[in-house]
Amino acid sequence: MFRSALLAATLAPLALGCGGAPKPSAQSQTPADFVLLGGAVRTLDPARPEASAIAVRGDRIVAVGTDAEVGAFIGPETRVERLSGRTVIPGLVDGHCHLHGLGAALESLDVRGKKSPEDVARLVAAEAKSRAPGEWITGRGWDQNLFTPATFPTHAPLDVASPDHPVALTRIDGHALWANAAALRLAGVDAKTADPPGGRILRDATGAPTGVFIDNAMDLVTAKIPGEPPEVIERRILRASERALSLGLTGVHEMGIDDATIAVYRKLASEGRLPIRVYAYLAGGSNLAALSQRKPDVDPQGTAMFVLRGVKLFADGALGSRGAALLAPYADEPKSTGLSIADRNTLTEAARIIADAGFQLAVHAIGDRANRDVLDAFAALGEGRARALRFRIEHAQVLAPEDIPRFASLGVLASMQPTHATSDMPWAPARLGPERLRGAYAWRSLLDAGARLVFGSDFPVEEPSPLLGLWAAISRQDPSGAPPGGFMPEQRVTLDEALAAFTTGPAYASFTEATHGRIAPGNVADLTIFSGVLPADRSLLDAKIDHVIVGGKVAFGAAIPKPEAP
Ligand SMILES: [Zn+2]
């Protein structure tokens, strides 16, 4: 009651206007469904970077401006939220993540942060007790860089922990799999099994598999894990969506999903049950041969909750497992230059099929050789094609200096994950050596060279909170503030640049820059509201999410107060 009385008292005279130019009166505007007043609105719209108020009708922003200007949109039914200085930004979008993967990770054994293979095995043993005999135990998050010595584990401790249940544990980066003997038996893998193209089976001195599989070799084991029924996929998506919304995300770019997962997304979206906007990429593989029979989704209004318009491919593996394809050998493994999952010719052929079918291509490329192969493949499509279809490179993690300007000249989007830099900084210098390190996690260099940046987290590889990514982007420090001064601090960007890479960047990448990524009249009302200011220092990490609005509806946070009867 107090709220609306105060509003009526303060707004009425303002709405009638005291400035020079004639102002529309309250009566001449179709009232908004709700209005936000008294906020610190960072619009990311160059035409009006700052404002204090927003009016929303249906799923659209209808006005942005001062409290007085926007007050003209308050009618008798209009709900009003007084923000008292709280910060509103365009809805944050994670430009590269695995939403269904997050749901699966939330339900699977979490072995992150464990300091020895035995610590991991203890968790597996406990899990085995609660599972039916023979049921697979899957988990995620081990990292041999945390072990002493920092070497890959073997199946032995998992055999002791779980002799009867097959075990398959994915490395933190998703590019290596650690299995026990029961899983090796089911997969039919032994000393005679050859390494598949783009993959490696780690072996002991006798040639027997040690239990660790790199990149494409992982499929030897994972192909034996039974698929999940649709109701499990749905439960995981919904659970992960709630988590993502609670962290301030209004949308995600879902990377590399299969047709079973796509079917569940389509069903959720058509039933109005998908609470977060999902722009998705099909996991490309043998299905490319039939791609010309599929059509990319289009979303001219920017209002669809699920859009499948892209295909995701892999050019190489990851740096942590030395699967990234480098131009010169690893500084800490001089015999290896890593693995090409798809070489330049394969990528060129795939890129042409995907472009001809009208799909957008996103290629995972970590090493400088993989990035060059992808850029060459995109260039081979001919003038302007990669730009028109907004082709992207995922991670763009290690770049030769001469390749950095090619992102802008070819119109290729650099999709990067700021927290990868701060997660990898303890060991990336050893893998790369000082010279190559200069082109690693080089988002400032890319931006200065005119590239478009898209930021994301790659969750569940990293934590899903976009605040962690914003902080890593502006500081090159981990959440504790280490290292002092930042890791390669010359690659820092400003908070505004980082916010753009989480808003306008993903909007462009999803062909929705006309309706998303900025707070402007006519744009879709996807908004992230923080409970205070957004500082450009470490207290940024303390920012709390107050409201998340997707398509004009509160998707997280308290309902916006209804007007009191006069
Ligand atoms: Zn990923």
Residues 117-121: what's their mean pLDDT?
97
Report CA-CA distances (Å) from 522 to 110, 332, 519: 43, 54, 9
pLDDT, residue 562, reads 87
**CA 143 – ligand 1 centroid, Å:** 17
Instruction: Copy the structure tokens of residue 506.
Output: 């993903």
C-alpha distances out from residue 241 to 60, 199, 299, 471, 485, Å: 22, 32, 21, 22, 35
Residue 270 alpha carbon to ligand 1 centre in Å: 26
CA 461 to ligand 1 centroid distance, Å = 7
pLDDT: is 172 or 556 the higher one?
A: 556
pLDDT at 28: 61
> How many residues are given for the chain?
566
Structure-block tokens of residue 31: 């009232």
Q: How far is the CA of 255 from the centre of ligand 1 (A)?
A: 6
Find the 36 Cα to ligand 1 centroid distance in Å.
36
Amino acid 544 reads: K
Q: Tell me the DSSP string of 134-170.
A: T--EEEEEE-GGGSSS-----SHHHHHH-SSS-EEEE
Give the tens place of pLDDT for each residue, 380-434: 999 899 999 999 999 999 999 999 999 999 999 999 999 999 999 999 999 999 9
At how many degrees (to 10) do helices 99-107 and 230-246 cross?
A: 100
Element (H, E) at 421: helix 418-424
Which residues are paired to 197 by β-bridges? none
Dihedral sign, Cα of residue 290, residue 292, residue 293, residue 296: positive
Distance 173 CA to ligand 1 centre (A): 8
In angstroms, what is the span from residue 98 Cα to ligand 1's centroid? 6
What spacing in Å lies between the alpha carbon of 33 and ligand 1's midpoint?
38
Give the model confidence (pLDDT) of 191-230 as tens digits.
999 999 989 999 999 999 999 999 999 999 999 998 888 9
Whole-number Å distance, alpha carbon 208 to ligand 1 midpoint, is: 30
Measured CA to CA, the distance from residue 373 to residue 369 in angstroms comes to 6
Report helix angle 344-356 to 368-379, nearest 10. Answer: 40
**How much of the chain exceeds pLDDT 70, in percent?**
95
- Confidence class of residue 2 from pLDDT cuts 50, 70 and 90? very low
176 C-alpha to ligand 1 centroid (Å): 13
Count CA atoms within 13 Å of residue 453 on its CB side. 28
- pLDDT band of residue 249 (cuts 50, 70, 90) is very high
Q: How far is the CA of 417 from the centre of ligand 1 (A)?
A: 9
At CA 360, angle to CA 515 and CA 445, rounded to 5?
Answer: 80
Beta strands in 265-403 (DSSP E): 277-283, 306-314, 360-365, 392-395
CB 560 within 8 A of CB 33: no
What number of CA atoms fall less than 13 Å from residue 370's CA on the CB side?
A: 30
Residue 220 CA to ligand 1 centre (angstroms):
20
Sequence letter at residue 132: A
CA pair distance 8, 16, nearest whole angstrom? 12
**Among 445-449, 488-492, 562-566, which stretch is predicted with the lowest mean pLDDT?**
562-566
Ligand 1 centroid–CA 420 distance in Å is: 11
What pLDDT was estimated at residue 26?
46
Q: How far is the CA of 267 from the centre of ligand 1 (A)?
A: 24
- Tell how far the Cα of 460 is from the centroid of ligand 1, in angstroms: 8
Q: How many angstroms separate the alpha carbon of residue 316 from the centre of ligand 1? A: 12
pLDDT in tens, 134-182: 889 999 999 999 999 999 999 999 999 999 999 999 999 888 999 999 9
- Coil, helix or strand at residue 104: helix
Antiparallel, parallel or unpaired: β 392-395 and 413-416? parallel
Q: How far is the CA of 96 from the centre of ligand 1 (A)?
A: 6
pLDDT in tens, 122-132: 999 999 998 88
Distance CA 462, CA 319 (A): 15
| Distance (Å) from CA 442 to ligand 1 centroid | 18
- For residue 249, list its beta bridge partners: 92
Omega prior to 521 cis, within 30 of 0: no
**Summary mean pLDDT of the chain:** 93
Question: How many other β-carbons are positioned within 10 Å of the β-carbon of residue 224?
Answer: 17
Q: How far is the CA of 174 from the centre of ligand 1 (A)?
A: 8
Joined together, the tokens standing for residue 51 give 């404002």
pLDDT of residue 565: 63
For 37, list phi and psi in degrees, rounded to 5.
-125, 155
For residue 322 the two structure tokens come to 């030395």
Residues 238-260, mean pLDDT to the nearest whole number:
97
Q: Please state, for a pLDDT cut of 90, what percent of the chain lies above it.
A: 89
Reduce the secondary structure of 363-391 to three states and give it as a string: EEECCHHHHHHHHHHHHCCCCCHHHHCCC
Instruction: Report which residue type is found at 423.
Output: S
Q: How far is the CA of 456 from the centre of ligand 1 (A)?
A: 9
458 CA distance to ligand 1 centroid (A)?
5
State pLDDT tens for residues 314-346.
999 999 989 999 999 999 999 999 989 999 999
CA of 97 to the centre of ligand 1 (A): 6
User: How far is the centre of ligand 1, averaged over its atoms, from the C-alpha of 64 (Å)?
Assistant: 36
Residue 10 has pLDDT above 60, yes or no: no
Q: How far apart are CA 170 and CA 189, in angstroms?
A: 17
pLDDT tens, position by position, 29-88: 899 999 999 999 999 999 999 999 999 999 999 999 999 999 999 999 999 999 999 999
Q: What is the side-by-side order of every strand in the sheet holding 92-97? A: 92-97, 249-257, 277-283, 306-314, 360-365, 392-395, 413-416, 453-455
CA atoms within a 13 Å half-sphere pointing along the CA-CB vector of 210 = 16
> Quick one: which H or E segment has residue 255?
strand 249-257
Cα 290 to middle of ligand 1, angstroms: 24
Q: How far is the CA of 256 from the centre of ligand 1 (A)?
A: 8
Rounded Cα distance, 297 and 303, in Å: 12
Cβ partners under 8 Å of residue 445, min gap 6: 399, 404, 439, 491
Q: Rounded to the nearest whole angstrom, what is the distance from the C-alpha of residue 138 to the centroid of ligand 1?
A: 18
Q: Using CA atoms, how far apart are residues 115 and 113, in angstroms rounded to an integer? A: 6
Task: Give the largest Cα separation in the chain, rounded.
Answer: 87
Ligand 1 centroid distance, CA of 318 (Å): 10
Q: Residue 299 has which token pair?
A: 């979303």
Query: Mean pLDDT over residues 545-554, rounded?
Result: 98
Lowest mean pLDDT among 17-26, 335-344, 371-380: 17-26
The answer to whether the CB of 463 falls within 8 A of the CB of 457 is: yes
